[in-house]
Structure 1
C-alpha cells in the first residue's frame, strides 16, 4: 500500500505543475536553446518548410550557393525573338583567298613557310630554280594572311600549272547556311542572324548578305551567307555551326532565363531568393526563345531568382524535404 501511495503522489505533482504552466521541453527544443544564433542558422540550413502561400522553401546560405556555381538574376523585361533554325559551315572568305603559283617551272630549292604560318605581303614563301635560266627566284606572298595550303615539297618539280601555296586573309569568315525550300520565302538579305560556333562562347550577331538564286540538287537546299569578322581567330574554316534567323521580336514585361525553369512535383517553378531562403515558386510560363521565357504570373519584376545552375537549388530542396520527414 505504501508503494502505491508514492506513485500516485508523483503523478499528482506532475498534473499540478502542468496546470499552473510548468513546461517540459523536448530534446530538440533544449538543443535549440543551447546553441548560439549562428549555430541555430547552420542547423536550420537545408531544411525545407512551406511559406505562407504553401510554396516549398529551404534555408541556404550565399556561400553554399556560390560553391554550387549558382548565379542569381533579377526578373525583368526581355525581348523574345521568333527564330528559324539553320545549319551551316564556316568557310574562308573567297574574296580574300589567293593561290600563289610559280612564274616559271623549276625545282624547289628552299621553303620558308609552312601551313598555318602568318605572312605579310611580300614575305618570301619559297625559292625556285628556273628551268629556263637555271637561276633561283623568290616566290612571295601577294597578300597578308595565313598559309592554308602548301602543295610543294623541297627538291620536287614545281609547275606554273599548279598552285604552290594558298594564302587566305582570315580576318573575315563566310558562314554558309542551308535553307530548305519551304523556308525560302522567310530568308531575305539584311535579315538578322545569330551564329553559334558551339565553342562555349557567346553567339555572334550578323546579317544575311547573300541568298543564292539557285539550289543544290544533292541537298535540295539553297545557300544563304553571312560575313563574320574574325579578329581573334575564333572562327576556323571547315567547322560546322548552327544559326537562328530572327523572324520577329516582341517585348515580354517579366521574363527569366530559360535555364531557371524547373519542374517540381509536377509544377513548373522558378527558384526565388528571399532573404536566406530559396523558394520553389510556381509560375505560369508564356512564350520563350533560346535565352528567355516569359513569366505571366507567379513572379514580379525585380525579384531575385536562380538564373544559372538551378538544378543545385532543386537538389537542396529535395534534400531539405527528406530531412524534414
Structure 2
C-alpha cells in the first residue's frame, strides 16, 4: 500500500480521533486556568501544560536542541521576575506594619463626633459654668406697645371761665404747686358786673330786712294791717333770693366776693396739688371763658395706655398683673390692668386698655414709650434649661453642651415651651443632668472651628 493511502487509513481509525480529542481538551483546560489565575499555575494547569509540552516535544522531536534550551531559559527568567515582584510587595507591607504597629489610620484616631476638648483650667478661664436641668414654671406672656400718659383722674385743665385781660402770672412751667395756690390774675368786666349786682342785692336785702321788722312789729301791735306785713315779708324773701343768686354766679366763675384789688379782679387758683405741666398765659393777653391756661397734674401716679389687637383680648382683662418696661432706659414696674375698652376702633382695629402705675420717684414721664408684658398663662414643666444654653451649631439641630470625658459634648435636644428666659426640654436631657449654662456660645464656636478644619 502506498504512503498516502496508509495516512488516510490511520486517520479513519477511531483510536486516533480519541487521542486528538483528548489533546484538544487538555489544551483548552490549561488555557482557561492560565487566563483565570495569571499567577502561580494550579496543579491541574501544570499537568495539562506538561502534557502539552510532551506532545509538542513528540511532534518537534526532530527540532534542534538549541531552540528548546532557549525556551527553558525564557521561562526561568519570567519566574525570577515574578518572584522579585512578590518579594518587593512583601517588603513594603512589612515596612508599613513596622511604622504603624497598632494598625491605626495614618491620620490618627478619629475624635468623637460633637466633642469639644477642653481642660478644667481652660473651662474656668473661658467662663464655662454648669447647672442642673430640672422642673421650672414656664410663663407665657403677651408683649404690647404702650405710652405713658397723665392720670386723668389726677389732672386738672385750668380755664378762666370769664373773659378778660391777664394782669399777672404767678406760676411757672414745671413748678410744683399746692391746692388753692394762686396761678394768675385776670381783670374781667363780667366779674365786675356780677360783684356790683351782688352789692346791690345785699343792700336791698338790708332794706327789706328793716322793713319787715317794722311791719311785723306794727302788725303785732294791731297798728297796721296784716297785708302790709305780708308784703314786707315777700320783699325780704325776694331780696334774699337775689343775693343768693348773685353769689352763686360769682362762685361758679371762681371769682368769690372780691378782694382788695378791686371788683374786676379775677384769680386763677390751682384746683389740686401737682406739677404745672402746661402753661399758656402771658401778661396782657386777652382770654375767653374757654382759653386753656394751665394744666396741673399729680404725677405720683400715671397711666400706661396700650392698644390691644383682637386675638390678644382674651389675655388682657381688668385686674391682670403686668410688667411695664421702658424702651429708652432700664426701668421696670409692676402694675395691673385698670381698664379695657368695650369697643374696637374702626381704623386701628384695636381696643384701648390702661394700666395704673405708681410713680413716686417721677421716673415714668408722660410721653415715654414702654412695653407692657401681660401674663397670659403659666405651666409647670418637668425638665427645663436656661434659654441661653441652647445653641444651633449647624443651623438646624438644637443642642445643649453637657460634660463629657475630656471636654464637653453637644447633646441634641427637643424643645417645648419657652418664655425667653427658661425653655422646656421634651427629649434629649434628663432631670438632674448637668449642662453648660454659661459659655455655650464659646463651645459652639470651637465646635464649628473643628468641623471646618476636619472638612479641609
What is the TM-score when the length of structure 2 is the normalising length?
Answer: 0.49
Equivalent position SS for 2:271: coil
**Distance across 2 between alignment mates of 1:224 and 1:303:** 44
Pick from 125, 131, 135 the counterpart of residue 77 of structure 1: 135
Equivalent position SS for 2:153: helix
Rate the CA distance shift 1:173–1:256 in 2: closer, same or farther, 3 A.
farther
Alignment correspondent of 2:412: 282
Pick from 281, 293, 296 the counterpart of residue 167 of structure 1: 296
Equivalent position SS for 1:264: coil
- 8 Å CA contact 1:77–1:255 kept in 2: the answer is yes
Q: What is the correspondence of 1:77-226 to structure 2 with a 5 Å cutoff?
A: 77-102=135-160, 105-114=164-173, 116-124=174-182, 126-132=183-189, 133=262, 139-201=268-330, 203-226=332-355
Pick from 272, 278, 298 the counterpart of residue 429 of structure 2: 298
Rate the CA distance shift 1:153–1:81 in 2: closer, same or farther, 3 A.
same
- 8 Å CA contact 2:323–2:374 kept in 1: the answer is yes
Rate the CA distance shift 1:279–1:300 in 2: closer, same or farther, 3 A.
farther
- 8 Å CA contact 2:116–2:446 kept in 1: the answer is no
Q: Which has the higher contact order (CA 8 A, sep 6+)?
A: 1
Higher strand share: 1
Q: How big is the shift at 1:264?
A: 1.0
- The structure having more radius of gyration, on CA atoms, is 2
Q: What is the correspondence of 1:212-251 to structure 2 with a 5 Å cutoff?
A: 212-251=341-380
**Distance across 1 between alignment mates of 2:285 and 2:134:** 67
**Distance across 1 between alignment mates of 2:397 and 2:293:** 65
- 8 Å CA contact 2:116–2:443 kept in 1: the answer is no
Q: What is the correspondence of 1:56-71 to structure 2 with a 5 Å cutoff?
A: 56-59=116-119, 60-65=122-127
Q: How big is the shift at 1:111?
A: 4.3
Equivalent position SS for 2:172: coil
**Distance across 2 between alignment mates of 1:200 and 1:50:** 48
The range that moved more, 194-203 or 88-97, is 194-203
Q: How big is the shift at 1:270?
A: 3.2
**Distance across 2 between alignment mates of 1:142 and 1:302:** 64
Q: CA RMSD in A?
A: 4.0
Q: How big is the shift at 1:263?
A: 0.8
Higher helix share: 2
**Distance across 2 between alignment mates of 1:276 and 1:202:** 44
Equivalent position SS for 2:302: strand
- 8 Å CA contact 1:106–1:157 kept in 2: the answer is yes
- 8 Å CA contact 1:260–1:310 kept in 2: the answer is yes
Structure 2 runs not aligned, ≥5 long: 1-97, 99-109, 190-261
- 8 Å CA contact 1:50–1:57 kept in 2: the answer is no
**Distance across 1 between alignment mates of 2:144 and 2:172:** 38
Equivalent position SS for 1:233: coil
- 8 Å CA contact 1:58–1:316 kept in 2: the answer is no
**Distance across 2 between alignment mates of 1:177 and 1:72:** 40
Alignment correspondent of 1:11: none
The range that moved more, 174-183 or 91-100, is 174-183
Alignment correspondent of 1:7: none
Rate the CA distance shift 1:172–1:281 in 2: closer, same or farther, 3 A.
farther
**Distance across 1 between alignment mates of 2:411 and 2:379:** 25
Q: How big is the shift at 1:221?
A: 2.0
Structure 1 runs not aligned, ≥5 long: 1-17, 19-48
**Distance across 2 between alignment mates of 1:78 and 1:203:** 23
**Distance across 2 between alignment mates of 1:212 and 1:176:** 11
